[in-house]
Amino acid sequence: MNAVSSVPSDPPPSERVDADSPFVQRAQAGDDKAFEFLVIKYQRRVERLIGRMVRDVDLVQDIAQETFIRAYRGLANFRGDAQFYTWLYRIAVNTAKKHLVDLKRDPVITMSALKTAEDDETSGAELEPSLGVSDAETPDAVLASKEIAQAVNEAMDALAEELRQAIVLREMEGMSYEDIAQALNCPIGTVRSRIFRAREAISNRIKPMLDRQAGKRW
């Protein structure tokens, strides 16, 4: 009998090796230096995530600080069911949402969303138009790019909060669907649906603008 070969699949999230685990365990045992290491490791990433969710840049450090305080206080309850950074991102997202609700402000995405789109099974379109070097140097192309960037910002601003959170974590933080599902505490199918809907909304907003550029289409 011939053996049927198969390609090994990625381990489920619960079985992935978490490089942060030794430091988490030491921090749970009372080693403040270990937690300080985790803060240093993720501070910029957490601040970057928060900065893409709130308008007021002056709030970013305050929200990040509160995120790490909440993480420290809740560390005893962290059982390792998810990667540490996924758990930390969930706290960051929830903390940012709390501030936005308190201040009655809406999250907003920055123009850098145009630079980090990826192709995957949920969408055949990219968020960024492809311009040649010669095109990018023309005043018309520069103006068109600014208009498209503004349209993307407006489209992101108009997204429902849950759609905006999902696409930020996917496109800008590069998180997997499994990790996003854990960070947002929802099924992976819901994550895929939210990302698809967000991309579709952005595409519908900027596609007419791209179509007006000769030869530049999705």
What band does 17 get if pLDDT is binned at 50, 70 and 90? Answer: low
- pLDDT greater than 60 at residue 100: yes
The pLDDT assigned to 192 comes to 93
> 40 or 81: whose pLDDT is higher?
40
Q: What is the pLDDT of residues 201-213, one digit of tens each?
A: 888 877 777 666 6
Closest CA to 206 of 118, 135, 125: 125
What band does 137 get if pLDDT is binned at 50, 70 and 90? Answer: low
Task: Catalogue all structural domains in the chain, each as residue range(s) with its CATH number.
Answer: 14-103 (1.10.1740.10), 111-211 (1.10.10.10)
- pLDDT greater than 50 at residue 126: no
The pLDDT assigned to 1 comes to 46
Rg (CA), the chain: 20
Predicted model pTM:
0.59
Mean pLDDT for the chain overall: 75
How many other C-beta atoms are found inside a 10 Å radius of the C-beta of residue 148?
A: 22
Highest mean pLDDT out of 14-18, 92-96, 115-119 = 92-96
Spatial distance between the Cα atoms of 8 and 25, rounded to a whole number of angstroms = 30
Q: What is the pLDDT of residues 42-51, one digit of tens each?
A: 999 999 888 8
What is the greatest pairwise CA distance in the chain? Answer: 68
The pLDDT assigned to 136 comes to 47
- pLDDT greater than 60 at residue 214: no
CA angle, residues 85, 87, 92, in degrees to nearest 5: 85
Closest CA to 206 of 134, 111, 139, 105: 111
